[in-house]
Structure formats: C-alpha cells, structure tokens
Structure 1
Amino acid sequence: MDQVPRLRPGFRFQWEPVQKAHVLLYPEGMVKLNDSAAAILSEIDGERTVSAIVARLEERFPDAGALDGDVQEFLEDARQQHWITML
C-alpha cells in the first residue's frame, strides 16, 4: 500500500470526446476505460501512494465502502498489462 504507481512512459490518460469515455493512449493504440478504471487512473500522479489513492477514492465514492482490495486488484492488472509501474 506504500508503493507509488505511475503511468509508463508513452502512456497518457485523457477524456476522449469521440469515444465519450476516458481512455489510455499509448504508441500502439488506445484502451477505452470503464468508469471504475478511469476513477482509479485519474488519481495516479506519480506521487500518491496506493493507500492515498484508496483514501481519495473512498472520499469521492463514500457509498462504495472499502475499496482497497478492488484498487489493488486493478493496479496489479494494470501493471501486468504494462500500463503502469510501481515504485
């Protein structure tokens, strides 16, 4: 929980009006994100720890309950997909 996730070099998170969704752009293409993935990636700034990201998301979505497991699972998937690195 004290690791700091960062987008890998060449990856960019942004709103894509044509897709009407947040996307993750990279040199070989684009990934259209669901709302949960977009919420998590929007908190990644290369400085916040996983625990800080979880705390911010729990503040933004108080009705969701504890989010640490879901956030950690998504970040691990994102790491395996080579979208992020963990420092």
Structure 2
Amino acid sequence: MTPLCVPYLPRGVRLANDRVRGLRVLLGPERVLILDQIGNAVLSRVDGAQSVRAISEDLAQTFSAPRNEIETDVLAYLGDLAKKRLLETRDG
C-alpha cells in the first residue's frame, strides 16, 4: 500500500453502529472489529474515492497534527485491515 492507493471496503464489509454496546464496528464475513476513536476517524473517511494521502491530510487538519506522522499511522492501520481482508485498495 502506498499513499496514492485508494482504499475501499470490499463487498460484504461495512461500518455499523453496535446499538447494544454503543460503539462503531467494522463488520466483515464472520468478523466484528470494534473501532476505537482513531479507527472510526480513519474508516469514516474511506469512501473509495480518496487516496490514503487525502485521508491523511484531512485527518492532519482535523486533529492539528503533522501529515507525515498521520500518514505513516494510516498506512499501517489500513495495511493491517487489508491483510485481514477487511479492506481493499486500487491504484490512484
């Protein structure tokens, strides 16, 4: 995965609200990943149109943080989700 890749949720994976626990979750085939505030902030920006770099820039502006640091963390987080087959990317 590179900063120019465009991440998207594959078929069968979606963000949802767990009403019982009052949490945001990522639902996949036979999987539930409970999202913390950071995971929710990143995944709420994954729309299949924005690159990792654009997502990182938006997060950097929102949280007043250096884009390079944010981008490193976003790449690692999304890369981990891709390994678990909860996220896919295409070249941007």
Q: Shared fold by TM > 0.5? A: yes
Give yes or no for the alignment of 1:37 onto 2:39.
yes
Match of 2:87 among 75, 84, 87: 84
For residue 71 of structure 1, what is the amino acid of its counterpart? V
Match of 1:51 in 2: 53
Q: 1:1-87 alignment to 2 at 5 Å? A: 1-62=3-64, 64-65=65-66, 66-87=69-90
Structure 2, unaligned stretches of length 5 or more?
none
Q: CA deviation at 1:38?
A: 1.0
User: What SS does the corresponding residue of 1:39 show, helix, strand or coil?
Assistant: helix
RMSD: 1.2
CA distance in 1, matches of 2:49, 2:23: 25
For residue 22 of structure 2, what is the amino acid of its counterpart? K
CA distance in 2, matches of 1:80, 1:29: 14
CA distance in 2, matches of 1:36, 1:71: 10
Q: CA deviation at 1:71?
A: 0.5
Structure 1, unaligned stretches of length 5 or more?
none
Q: Give the fraction of aligned pairs with identical amino acids, expressed as a percent.
A: 31
Q: CA deviation at 1:27?
A: 3.2
For residue 7 of structure 1, what is the amino acid of its counterpart? L
CA distance in 2, matches of 1:12, 1:19: 17
Q: TM-score, normalised by structure 1?
A: 0.90
Q: How many residues align?
A: 86
